[in-house]
Structure 1
Amino acid sequence: MHQLNLCFQPAWLVRTLLACWLLTQSAWVAAHPPGLSSVDVVVKPDGVIAKVTFALQDIEAFSPMDSDLDAEVSDAEREAAKPAVAKLLADQFRLLDGNAVLAPSEPGRVDYDEQNNAHVEFHFGPLSSGRLTLQSAFLASLPDGHQQYLTVKDGDGKTLAEKMLGKNDASLSVELTAGAAQAGGGAWLTAFADFFKLGVEHILTGYDHLLFLFALLAVTHNFWPALKIITFFTIAHSITLALAGLNLVELPSSFVEPFIAATIIYVSAENLIRGDHPKGREWLTFGFGLVHGFGFASVLREMEISSSDTGILLPLLSFNLGIETGQIAVAAIVLPIIWWLNNQIAIADKFLKSCSAAVCMMGAYWLLERTVL
């Protein structure tokens, strides 16, 4: 009896710490992860067109739209804020023709979409030199993790350059010569690395996706059941990520985000009710994984990001590989702990139920936040 207690206490401590860690996620999910924006520049003989796309939440902190302070932004208030939004970005986004700063030929045109993004388009005069430099000073005001994907194309749609900008690297110079344009077409490797990194970061900060996967894996005791669940989840979300990224199937985020929260509640509740070894879990994983794929795709589609030479295919492939790499890394760390705890007869049931209850509460919080709140 004494030996059982000595073995029980460390395991109980691990279980308690893990449950507490899950509960602390509520402090993290109150804030959105670092943002993502894009800049598409088209260089034509008669001028330059630059289109900047930002999430409204990134702009509202610097250009408030809630003029009547009622905690809600009406359509009229958003329309009234367009000149301020255009001026804000015009002051922060600079184009240089050689060493000369280009001024927009007219105020920026602002449009909003249904995904709470703002699209600001600027028109500049023709270039007189062979070098174009772009500086995005606005990134210095945003969180450290904010990334801005920049593409530069000529009038025929040929890629001249593409780069992921950040606070510490917020500019790009492009040599506008025939040789440089051809060299720019070889930037696919850089784009691949950028989107791969984006995928890793997205899954590591996608706490809802991670908790869903944790709830699925919490019932496993060894390698093969876990591999089956991870494989089915990977196949499912890869299918819908591709379909959504190619614009073949579209689901509104107002449906996808609450449904993702509901999948977390369902799986964790199943753990509480059915306990260990629920049958058919891999097919449940596949069905719910299809919806999670739409959540992954929103990162690319809502910000209208694509790699010009390969369309959306290169970003889709590298972004998905990044997601899988991050997912495998997390699983490699968490699964040995889960298996060890599940194989401790004295505490296995308590571990599963306490962690599942914590995950269920987080899922319920997200569901309320994404619907009622």
Structure 2
Amino acid sequence: MGRLSVGYGRGLLGAVLLLQAAWVWAHAPGLSSLDVAVKPARIDVRMTFALQDIEAFAPMDSDLDAEVSDAEREAAKPDIAKLLAGQLRIAVDGEDVAPTGLGQVGFDAENNAHVEFQYAAVPKRRLLVQSTFLQRLAEGHRQYLTVRDADGKVLAEKMLVKQDDGLSLSFAAAADGEPVASAHSTFNTFRDFFKLGVEHIVTGYDHLLFLLALLVVTHGFWQALKIITFFTLAHSLTLALAGLNIVDLLGSFVEPFIAATIIYVGVENIIRGDHPKGRHWLTFGFGLIHGFGFAGALREMEISSGDTGIFLPLLSFNLGIESGQIAVAIVILPMIWWLNNKADIAEKFLKSCSIAVSLMGTYWLLERTVL
């Protein structure tokens, strides 16, 4: 009995630690975008950040009332433009160049800032783009850089991070005298977003907590496989809908709804107990909403790749998420099955995990709505 209690304690501790990681990383590490267009007479740059990523460096709440009014947002635009202009290095043929005039700042409905700069220079031999602002942001922040020509053709793409925050691009003269860069690598784009998807899951994303709440009632391989399969199918369908621009849901709806799904599954586990009937259909329906959460993060940052637009980043990001989910499931499922097959502790284990899941879901729901 003592050994059994130790095993139960270890299992419960592992579940609690996993849930605690999900609490800390309820949202994925920050993601932003940097688009550079090399035109015949100038370089156009467009940066997109979540406001929460830049507000610490360009405060908007001037009256300190814990709310940012439209007037305060407008008043903050020059500071935001100045901040980002000073944190972006553009070097043309070995010479650093400054933007012509102040940057243009705009906001969207999803609390993102879009900042545009123009540079009166055109590279003939080499272009260097360095986003030093990444040094100020959290360790997990990623910024996707895309360099295009005047016709919108992608010349280079790279996922920038704090340790590697720049891209140097060599040009060669074309027959008409215009600069031409070497072709970009589709594989690198796929790899970057696949890795990003895996990182989002294994660091404890709220979607992972939802999956854990679904799997905690299973006793064996086939029950778990059905749930994981239906979750994967839902994500794939969402990917197709988002990639083809058929359905697009606002993040202000999706994020609270995701929190609500976590609460629902946790409460259902407490009320209905061991492996409720129809759990795979519930997984599929709620999985669709979680998939829109994945797609929304990339859409809001206006991320696209080459001729595939947003489809390749979405596909590789989603595959990374699914791969990460499977890897985590392989690790935690044996523990869940062992505990669920011990009659004297199974019910306590299920209820303890489900209560923790529901409480965390409630916190996220409040955070994404009224807080």
In the TM superposition, what is the alpha-carbon distance from 1:26 to its structure 2 partner? Answer: 7.6
2:251 to 246, 250, 253: 253
Superposed, 1:162-241 pairs within 5 Å as 162-177=157-172, 181=180, 183-185=182-184, 187-241=185-239
SS state of the match for residue 182, structure 2?
helix
Alpha-carbon offset, residue 174 of structure 1: 1.1
Aligned to 1:101: 96
Correspondence for 1:90: 85
Deviations 1:159-213 (A, max 9, x none): 111101111111111122268956324x111111111111112223453211110
Q: CA separation of 1:128/1:303 partners in 2, compared to 1, >3 Å: closer, same or farther? A: closer
The alignment partner of 1:160 has SS state of strand
CA distance in 1 between counterparts of 2:69 and 2:20 reads: 33
Contact 1:258 1:371 in 2 (8 A): yes
What does residue 240 of structure 2 align with? 242
Provide the rounded CA distance (Å) in 2 between the counterparts of 1:6 and 1:352: 20
In the other structure, the counterpart of 1:70 is 65
Q: Which amino acid aligns with 1:12?
A: Y
Q: Residue 183 and residue 99 in structure 1: after superposition, are their counterparts in 2 closer, same or farther (change >3 A)?
A: closer
1:300 and 2:295 aligned: no
Q: Which residue of 2 aligns with 1:328?
A: 326
Does 2:292 match 1:275?
no
**1:153 offset after TM fit, Å?**
0.6
**Cα pair 1:87 1:108 within 8 Å, conserved:** yes
Structure 2 distance, partners of 1:183, 1:199, is 27
Structure 2 unpaired stretches of 5+: none
1:10 to 6, 11, 18: 6
What is the TM-score of this pair, normalised by structure 1?
0.93
Residue among 5, 20, 32 paired with 1:24: 20
Is contact 1:245–1:300 with CA below 8 Å preserved after alignment? no
Unaligned stretches of 5+ in structure 1?
A: none
What TM-score, normalized by structure 2, do the two folds share?
0.94
- Cα offset for 1:230? 0.2
CA positional deviation for 1:280:
0.9
Aligned length: 367
Greater than 4 Å deviation, 4+ residue runs: 178-182
Q: 1:328 to 1:16 in 2, by over 3 A?
A: closer
- 1:56 and 1:175 mapped to 2: Cα distance? 33
Offset at residue 356 of structure 1 (A): 1.0
Query: How far did 1:33 drift?
Result: 4.3
State the SS of the aligned residue for 1:83: helix
Equivalent-residue separation in structure 2 for 1:212 and 1:357 (angstroms): 13
TM-superposed CA distance for 1:233, in Å, is 0.4
- State the shift of 1:308 in Å: 1.9
Q: How far apart are the structure 1 equivalents of 2:314 and 2:133? A: 27
2:126 corresponds to = 131
1:27 and 1:16 map into 2 onto residues whose CA distance is: 16
